[in-house]
Amino acid sequence: MRKRTKRGKTKTLALPVAGRVAIGVMAVAALGYSLLSWPASVQPIRRPSVHQVQTAAHVSTPVHVASAPVAILVPAPRVETPKAADAPDRLVRQVVDYVSHQAPGTVIIDTRNTFLYLVLNEGQAMRYGIGVGRKGFAWSGEQTVVRKTEWPDWRPPVEMISRQPYLPRFMAGGPGNPLGARAMYLGETEYRIHGTNKPDTIGKRVSSGCIRLTNEDVMDLYDRVNVGAKVIVLPAIAATVPFPPARSSSL
């Protein structure tokens, strides 16, 4: 009886051990199946190495500095005041030797050589390049400055309108006005010494009898010449009009 009892105990103890082994085998099989069926796209998370962490620590974040806006300079409208240096050398305003017995302040106009002289003393004069009357409109004689005007208005005389009917009957003074920045009126005539908005005509014979200077030069002359100053216009050729009529053409 005792031997049977011992064998029965042995069998009872052996059953649980076999169950455990079976369970373990099943667990291993399940684990292997799960590893085989793991998605290929899923990658295990790798921790960065110490070297990578140190390298990343030394990489500084780039600083973006906004560039300052570029200022666009818009040139302001310019009033026509041509520089003397833009003219040929002989037409540049300058003090020259000039022998004259006229009083200082007298204006002498050499229409033949397109020069205007302002007498400074017995041996010197300020010389300006000028534009003069075209063929048939040149004149000579002596006049007096009776009036001076800054940025003069322009009213073309009847004679000029009859030749050029497209001209305006009136034009207010300003940079676009053909009389330019200054005008000095001569006696009872329509002739003037004035500026121009066409500086390329200086040194040429293009006007209807008026004497024109660049705006820069006429402003300089304007400040030097007084009302009442004598103006002498020298003859260019023998056929010039010896003395301007009382109502002559301008420009």
Query: 124-129 and 205-207 as β-strands: parallel, antiparallel, unpaired?
Result: unpaired
Distance CA 192, CA 185 (A): 5
Q: Name every residue whose Cβ is closer than 8 Å to that of residue 103 and which is 6 or more positions away in sequence.
A: 119, 230
Query: 230-234 and 205-207 as β-strands: parallel, antiparallel, unpaired?
Result: unpaired
- Are the CB atoms for 94 and 116 separated by under 8 Å? no
User: Which DSSP category does 240 fall into?
Assistant: S
Distance CA 93, CA 220 (A): 9
Tokens of 49: 């190495």
Strand partners, 97: 124
Give the residue numbers annotated as catalytic, written as ranges: 194, 210
Distance CA 88, CA 20 (A): 120
- Are the CB atoms for 104 and 126 separated by under 8 Å? no
The 10 Å Cβ neighbour count of residue 198 is 16
Distance CA 193, CA 116 (A): 10
Tokens of 93: 């305003």
Q: Name every residue whose Cβ is closer than 8 Å to that of residue 59 and which is 6 or more positions away in sequence.
A: none
